[in-house]
Amino acid sequence: FALTTLTIWLIPPVVAAVFQRDQGCVLRPRMDVAGKCFGHLTPHHIVKDGAGGEYSMANLVVLCCHHNDWVSNGEPDIAWMAT
């Protein structure tokens, strides 16, 4: 995953760092449980911002659109799956 100068300018530095760290959807290795990746990549809060979750490296992971929807629709907590 490569960040362009434009991409970095458009997103907060912590999000850019999360994209650099994760190098794609963190559930990619868990396709046996979560299904195949597809769609654009997005930062995902482990603890939702509305529940007090921060925009921090420790609380953000990168998910593809499919896995973001999958997790948001009440599938298992990604904390154990992303490791």
> Facing residues of 41 across strands?
64
Confidence (pLDDT) at 64: 92
pLDDT of residue 24: 93
Instruction: Report pLDDT digits (tens) over 37-71.
Output: 888 999 988 888 788 888 889 989 999 998 888 88
What one-character DSSP code corresponds to residue 38? -
Whether residue 4 has pLDDT greater than 60: no
**Tens of pLDDT, residues 8-32:** 455 688 888 999 999 999 988 877 7
Specify the pLDDT at position 25. Answer: 93
